[in-house]
């Protein structure tokens, strides 16, 4: 936010092409199988240009995996609607931008990519959970992440047939209640008693 004072350079087009190709390859192949040579070929330039502009593969990935979830604020929204909006927004974001796919595919085997996912989680999802419940928002955000990332994993990466076949609206309808439970529901402490999902958004003690 402070160093984009540089004037537009002649190579900006190439830089962008590299970044676009990198995101595509990282998304399709993961970190190790996405080679600099393949990325350079996609961008129609020489592999050495990638090195010149991004230093090394790790920094190229860091640049390609910059991501903003653009989550809505959701302050004052009813939890039911909030969780629906959240799931729907996430699916849209996933399908419209391959950065998330790149992050997941790479994050499973590359520590830096995993760290980036933790950063995005902490900086972008936790605040939303905080706005919806003052009680253990990090845990709530983590549970939401588990459901939402698991959904993306099964639908877009592992491609489990029944999940792939679902309409997006059905996916939202099924998973939103679970997300709502995580965002605003309560839990009987050590769970010996039969659990239940409270019928309304009962806050926790």
Partner DNA sequence: AGCGTAGGCCAACACCTGTTGACTCCGCCA
Partner DNA sequence: TGGCGGAGTCAACAGGTGTTGGCCTACGCT
- Give contact residues for a second copy (rule: CB under 8 A): 29-30, 32-33, 78, 80-81, 84, 104-105, 107-109, 114, 117-118, 121, 136, 138-139, 141-143, 145-151, 153-155, 157-163, 166, 169-170, 172-178, 180-182, 185, 187-191, 194-197, 199
Structure tokens at 11: 């190579």
Structure tokens at 92: 């849209």
- Residue with Cβ nearer a second copy (33 or 70): 33
Q: Which does 57 bind (CB under 5 to 8 A by kind): a second copy, DNA, none?
A: DNA
Q: Is 47 in the site for DNA (CB under 7 A)?
A: yes
Q: Name the residue with tokens 């192949």.
A: 29
Gap between the Cα atoms of 174 and 75, Å rounded? 23
Three-state secondary structure call for residue 193 = coil
- The overall longest dimension of the chain from CA atoms, in Å, is 67
Q: Name the residue with tokens 């909030």.
A: 82
Q: Choose the binding region for DNA from 34-42, 94-102, 108-116, 184-192 (rule: CB under 7 A).
A: 34-42
Distance of closest approach, residue 26 Cβ to DNA, in angstroms: 10
Q: Is 38 in the site for DNA (CB under 7 A)?
A: yes
Gap between the Cα atoms of 101 and 94, Å rounded? 7
- Residue with Cβ nearer a second copy (1 or 191): 191
Q: Which of 20, 28, 42, 49 binds DNA (CB under 7 A)?
A: 49
- Residue with Cβ nearer a second copy (44 or 174): 174
The answer to whether the beta carbons of residues 98 and 109 sit under 8 Å apart is: no
Q: Is 28 in the site for DNA (CB under 7 A)?
A: no
Q: At what angle do helices 137-152 and 168-184 cross, to 10 degrees?
A: 160
What number of CA atoms fall less than 13 Å from residue 57's CA on the CB side? 17
Distance of closest approach, residue 169 Cβ to DNA, in angstroms: 40
- Residue with Cβ nearer a second copy (17 or 27): 27
Gap between the Cα atoms of 81 and 89, Å rounded? 12
Distance of closest approach, residue 178 Cβ to a second copy, in angstroms: 4
Gap between the Cα atoms of 120 and 108, Å rounded? 15
Residues that bind DNA (CB under 7 A): 9-11, 13-14, 34-38, 44-52, 56-58
């Amino acid at each position: 936010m402070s160093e984009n004072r540089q004037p537009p350079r002649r190579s900006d087009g190439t830089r962008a092409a590299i970044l676009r190709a990198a995101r595509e390859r990282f998304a399709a192949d993961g970190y190790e199988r996405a080679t600099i040579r393949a990325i350079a070929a996609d961008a129609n330039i020489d592999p050495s240009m990638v090195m010149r502009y991004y230093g090394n593969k790790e920094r190229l990935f860091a640049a390609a995996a910059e991501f903003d979830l653009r989550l809505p604020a959701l302050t004052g929204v009813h939890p039911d609607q909030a969780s629906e909006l959240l799931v729907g927004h996430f699916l849209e974001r996933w399908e419209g931008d391959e950065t998330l796919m790149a992050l997941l595919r790479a994050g499973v085997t590359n520590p830096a990519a995993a760290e980036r996912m933790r950063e995005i989680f902490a900086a972008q999802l936790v605040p939303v959970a905080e706005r919806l419940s003052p009680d253990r928002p990090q845990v709530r955000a983590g549970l939401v992440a588990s459901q939402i990332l698991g959904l993306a994993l099964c639908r877009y990466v592992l491609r489990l047939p029944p999940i792939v076949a679902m309409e997006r609206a059905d996916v939202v309808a099924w998973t939103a209640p679970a997300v709502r439970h995580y965002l605003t529901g309560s839990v009987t402490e050590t769970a010996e008693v039969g659990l239940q999902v409270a019928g309304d958004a009962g806050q926790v003690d």
